[in-house]
Amino acid sequence: MLIPNAHDAVHRAWMLRLLSRIADDRTLMSMLFFKGGTCAALRDLLDRFSVDLDFDLRSTDDIPVARKHLEKIFTELGLTIKDQSKIIPQYFLRYESKEGSRNTIALDITVPPPKANEHEVIRFADIDRFLPCQTVATMVANKLVTPIDRFAKHGTIAGRDFYDIHHFLLQGYPWNAAVIEERTGMPAKKFFKTLHDFIEKRVTQTIIDQDLNSLLLPKQFQKMRRTLKQETLALLRQHQK
């Protein structure tokens, strides 16, 4: 995983420490599926820094058990729960760090996940553990849906979503059409047009700069910031044909 700044090594170490403990818990591994930017970066599918841990939880019935096991791990690691959701196992966890540095890990869990999601067990070399996680095609499909879903639910737009979409499509990674159709209620090709129009209308240079500045190396950031939007739109147009 790329580390843009020296102090980010501490954050990465804490994420891997937490991920290792989750992977060692057999109960959690029977109900959680690793996903998101950190998963993609640790699999060398994404070339940016990622700061959160994201999982799918198998069923809402698993919520009480997942909470119990996760919170036990937090206590054992000395992580403080800064904030959490009362509905699902979603946490903001604080660790000790130098003033002005990152000190919070967001652990986000989706429950229930789309039925069309597909999974596989992968060895993550950075922690020397095997974890069940989303397949590449499932990961890409969910990322394609994320920008519009994030805006609908929270009214926010994250520049990293478009960087990831650009990277995934540029690399020619497959995408699971069934996931897109389940989450959006529209055929994949129609959705690509909807996403294209959303980006064209909503994404500004300010959004791209503010979110990506801390996740890429300076040279990489300067190279991508001016071309990201137009190149992403061009890639999406190719998938509408």
Task: Write down the domain spans for the chain.
Answer: 1-134, 135-241
CA distance 161 to 47: 13
Q: Which of 180, 228, 213, 227 is nearest to 49 (CA)?
A: 213
- Distance between first and last Cα of the chain: 34
- Phi, psi for residue 82 in degrees, rounded to 5: -75, -40
Mean pLDDT of 79-89: 95
| CATH class, 1-134 region | alpha beta
pLDDT band, residue 240 (cuts 50/70/90): confident
Residue 151 confidence (pLDDT): 97
Q: What percent of the chain has pLDDT over 90?
A: 91
Q: Quote the CA–CA distance of 192 and 194 in Å, as a whole number.
A: 5
pLDDT band, residue 101 (cuts 50/70/90): confident
- Residue 116 tokens, joined: 């069309």
pLDDT value of residue 165 = 98
Over the stretch 147-206, which tens digit does the pLDDT of each residue have? 999 999 999 999 999 999 999 999 999 999 999 999 999 999 999 999 999 999 999 999
pLDDT tens digits along 119-154 = 999 999 999 999 999 999 999 999 999 999 999 999
CA distance 218 to 49: 12
For the chain, the helix, strand and coil percentages under 3-state DSSP, each to the nearest 5: 50, 15, 30
Q: Read off the pLDDT of residues 53-69 as tens digits, 9 standing for 90 and up.
A: 999 999 999 999 999 99
